[in-house]
Amino acid sequence: MKVLVVEDDPLHRAFLREQIASALPECGQVIEATNGLDAEQQARSHPTADIVMDLQMGTRNGIEAARTIWRERPRTRILFWSNYSDEAYVRGISRIVPIGAAYGYVLKSASEQRLRLAMRSIFLEDQCVIDNEVRGMQQRSYAQASGFSDVEYEILVDIALGMTDRAIAERRKLSLRSVQNRLHQIYEKLDIYYPDGLAKEEPVLNLRARAVTVALLRKLLNYGALERADDELQAWLAARRKQA
């Protein structure tokens, strides 16, 4: 059994080595990577290795690395070990995890016992393990926003990227009216409206910009999520130019 540790902090890497030795006496080798790009290369060199992965790293973050690793080896078991319980991170992972893959999300604030139990559950028993605090954050976020559908969340990201209604409709293969209806649903779920009873002819707020701000404040969006989405947008625009 091999375990690949992906963590940019040397103290955290040393800590994870200790926890692996304690939780997984079956482990014969621990490999280390300091960023997501290094992790992808190490995963190719050690295709049977299980992975403990930090999320926020330089060069390439954990979600991008996991996306590449799962695309090449969808049965790879990955435990995400992170400081962040934001909805944006949870959604980011849930959108890329392959069907049937065993994975976990444990916060760095969790106890050592919790971390060791997660390692054994995921790597030896093929179970999925999500910290209660992460689930709680997700549920609170859903409650605050009345629960976004996947399409609504994609449109929220698209307006954060600066896309027009027509461009969103083209990209998401929706009608223009459908996009506009979903925008109104997003505004309602974020409790965004024109203040002081002012009519649309006298707007004080730009509702699209306000939706992005509120989503950021509620941690429905974050830098990592927008960075990934912008890369996807640039790829879509490049493909669109080729077809023109």
| Number of domains the chain contains | 2
Q: Look at residues 140, 156, 172 and tell me which one is the last residue of a structural domain.
A: 140
d(CA 108, CA 241): 43
Q: Look at residues 75, 106, 140 and tell me which one is the last residue of a structural domain.
A: 140
For residue 64, what are the β-bridge partners? none
Expressed as residue numbers, the domain containing 33 is 2-140
Task: Lowest mean pLDDT of 6-10, 31-35, 69-73, 134-138, name the range.
Answer: 134-138
> Strand order in 78-82's β-sheet?
29-33, 2-6, 50-53, 78-82, 103-107, 129-130
Integer CA distances (angstroms), 91 to 113, 196, 220, in order: 26, 34, 9
Domain match, 129 and 157 both = no
Residues 116-168: tens digit of each pLDDT: 999 999 999 999 888 765 555 444 444 444 467 778 888 999 999 999 999 99
Residues 214-239: tens digit of each pLDDT: 888 877 787 777 887 888 899 999 99
The pTM for the full model equals: 0.63
Q: What CATH code is carried by the domain that includes residue 30?
A: 3.40.50.2300
Q: What CATH code is carried by the domain that includes residue 238?
A: 1.10.10.10
**Residue of 22, 23, 13 whose CA lies nearest to 120:** 23
